[in-house]
């Protein structure tokens, strides 16, 4: 069974640019969540996608957006990058449509650096 994969591993962008991060969910999982982990902090919830629709969002501005595809893979897009967007971005997949008892399986993350 293939786990959650993310690409790219590392990315360097300059302020004002746009970035797209990608995530492939674990086989059999229909729900994808994205988290931002700043250095020395715990992950912060960005949003969750279930069956190609956003079904929940954290306290992040609209320039953070996403997509989920029919195969349940997902993208995170960030527009107008700011220095504070530098972080590790984690994708997690789960199988039960976002039930509170579900287990989220995390990918290795994408390290984004904004200069």
**Minimal distance, residue 21 CB to other proteins, in Å:** 13
For 12-23, give one letter per residue: b (16+ CB within 10 A) or e.
ebeeeeebebbb
81 to each of 35, 69, 88, 94, 113, how far by Cα in Å?
A: 16, 24, 14, 28, 10
Q: Does 58 bind other proteins (CB under 8 A)?
A: yes
45 strand-pairing partners: 35
Smaller CB distance to other proteins: residue 14 or 60?
60
Q: Does 99 bind other proteins (CB under 8 A)?
A: yes
Smaller CB distance to other proteins: residue 45 or 69?
45
Nearest CA among 56, 20, 45 for reference residue 106: 45
Q: Does 66 bind other proteins (CB under 8 A)?
A: no
**Minimal distance, residue 13 CB to other proteins, in Å:** 20
Residues within the interface to other proteins (CB under 8 A): 4, 31, 33, 35, 40-45, 48, 50, 55-56, 58, 90, 92, 94, 98-109
């Amino acid at each position: 069974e293939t786990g959650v994969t993310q690409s790219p591993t590392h990315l360097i962008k300059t302020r004002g640019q746009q970035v797209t991060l990608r995530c492939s969910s674990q086989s059999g999982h229909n729900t994808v969540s994205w988290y931002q982990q700043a250095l020395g902090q715990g992950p912060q919830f960005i949003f969750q996608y279930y069956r190609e629709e956003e079904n929940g969002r954290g306290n992040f501005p609209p320039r953070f957006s996403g997509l989920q595809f029919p195969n349940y893979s997902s993208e995170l897009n960030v527009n107008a990058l700011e220095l504070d967007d530098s972080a590790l971005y984690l994708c997690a997949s789960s199988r039960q449509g976002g039930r509170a008892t579900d287990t989220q399986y995390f990918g290795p993350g994408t390290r984004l650096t904004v200069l």
